[in-house]
Amino acid sequence: MHTIDMDLVEMTLDVMKYTIDRISNITPELGSPKKEEELYKMVGETITPEGIGGETAFSLFRDVLVKATVPIDHPRHLAFVPAAPTRAAIMFDLVTSASSIHGAYWMEGAGGIFCENQAMKWLVSLTQLPEGAFGVFTSGGTAANLSALVTAREEWREQQPDQARERALLLTSTGAHSSIKSMAKVMDADVLLVDSEEEYLSGTDLEKEITGLSEKDRRRLFAVVATGGTTNAGIIDDLNSIAAICEKENIWFHVDCAYGGGALAADSVRHLFNGIERADSITIDPHKWLFSPYDCGAVIYKNLDLARKAHSQKGAYLDIFKDEGAQGFNPSDYQIQLTRRLRGMPLWFSLAMHGTNKYKEAIERGIELAQIAAEKVKNNPELELVRPASLSVVLFKRKGWKPEDYRDWTYKNHNEGFALVTPSSWKGETVIRFCFINPDTTEKDIDEILATL
């Protein structure tokens, strides 16, 4: 099918050279977005009946378009949740593509799914969920949350058939990620945000909220979502006391650790997650703090059978496979997607190559960088630490600044190609938020960024 022509050879060399250069460059140019019209003016029409040729198309990408993107692995990219995929994981992402493995069924993907499951076994061990718990890789935290919540909703209906026509209701905290509300919309479920006395959600808050529900709402309640590291502030809900209420009330307990999940491997903070082993389902994003390339999320279930009941798609065309080797773990049975990329393979290769100790160290470094930054903020008379660093997030203010000053500062650093650091808000006030993921970020980087304030 692939005829060898010179254009293909040139393009292959270009792509390989670019890829190797990019993988080995730890301070890639910080690009910035441009208007679509501007990009069009620079690039022109690229899809034509005859094709513009691989070399031309690739040079447009390399010389123009990639410069209108922000490399999230830059050591001075501290906005949102940055990412820092290992070189091993990125290289194996290429291998995953080149190998063309369909990741839905064991029948087609056995060897690749074996790799994913090895990595998953380590993730599950970090949660300390009981024997029998297992999970599957998804496109990200949003898909993982949806997969878990659909499983919860199906189980609730199974247990209360008279609720079949009722809209389901879930409870979560004000710090929960936007994807919870958004996925509840997909499911046509309602969300109630529980107010907390403290900065985190506790069993006491939850119990108060449940006691205040009408009988009808109490019966619609199918899940509680706690957060294992809020995206904005790194705050972990009081998982043990929430678990206790969920057990007493017989409600599905989901813990969203999309951002914070990597910290389960960090001995210095692992105790903050105590109670997670009582969850019914957990979301972790390896593309955030487990050094995987985009995109890779994970959903883990205490009882895998319930996930299969909710998600398994049966195809008549699959029934003919009697071969014993074809029978095994089918990732499509446990989450919302059928055809799927083997997203866990890059994580597997990188874990296998480096060992889990290296992962622990790299995650601890993110936590340490946040502590270091918080200390520097405390010692700077112009700055004010808003709350102690949590996981790898630091929130602070520049004394005397108005919201526009924060915005101008963000743009200035970004336009100069120096750093991407953005404001957020905390208790109604504009603050600066640093989120550390990249273990290659240095103290000098922090000093230089603080010096721009």
Ligand X SMILES: *Cc1c(COP(=O)(O)O)cnc(C)c1O
Closest contact distance (angstroms) between CB of 164 and ligand X is: 29
Beta partners for residue 191, in sequence order: 170
Give whichever of 239 and 453 is closer to ligand X, judged by the CB atom.
Answer: 239
- Which residue number places its CB atom closest to ligand X? 141
Chain residues in the site for ligand X (CB under 6 A): 81, 140-142, 145, 177, 179, 227, 231, 256, 258-259, 285, 297
Give whichever of 262 and 423 is closer to ligand X, judged by the CB atom.
Answer: 262
Closest contact distance (angstroms) between CB of 246 and ligand X is: 19
Interior/surface letters 325-338, b for 16+ CB within 10 angstroms, e for the rest: eeeebbbbbbbbbe
Closest contact distance (angstroms) between CB of 111 and ligand X is: 26
Closest contact distance (angstroms) between CB of 39 and ligand X is: 25
Give whichever of 96 and 142 is closer to ligand X, judged by the CB atom.
Answer: 142
Give whichever of 145 and 390 is closer to ligand X, judged by the CB atom.
Answer: 145
Beta partners for residue 435, in sequence order: 393
Give whichever of 11 and 269 is closer to ligand X, judged by the CB atom.
Answer: 269
Contact residues for 301 (Cβ-Cβ < 8 A; gap 6+): 133, 134, 135, 148, 151, 280, 281, 307, 334
Give whichever of 155 and 237 is closer to ligand X, judged by the CB atom.
Answer: 237
Give whichever of 156 and 259 is closer to ligand X, judged by the CB atom.
Answer: 259
The burial of 240, by beta-carbon neighbours within 10 Å (0-12 exposed, 13-18 middle, 19 or more buried), is given as middle
Give whichever of 259 and 348 is closer to ligand X, judged by the CB atom.
Answer: 259
Closest contact distance (angstroms) between CB of 142 and ligand X is: 3
Give whichever of 142 and 350 is closer to ligand X, judged by the CB atom.
Answer: 142
Closest contact distance (angstroms) between CB of 401 and ligand X is: 26
Closest contact distance (angstroms) between CB of 367 and ligand X is: 16
Closest contact distance (angstroms) between CB of 182 and ligand X is: 9
Give whichever of 269 and 453 is closer to ligand X, judged by the CB atom.
Answer: 269
Closest contact distance (angstroms) between CB of 163 and ligand X is: 27
Closest contact distance (angstroms) between CB of 83 and ligand X is: 10
Give whichever of 172 and 413 is closer to ligand X, judged by the CB atom.
Answer: 172
The encoded tokens of residue 154 equal 């199906």
Closest contact distance (angstroms) between CB of 95 and ligand X is: 22
Do 344 and 116 touch, CB atoms closer than 8 A? yes
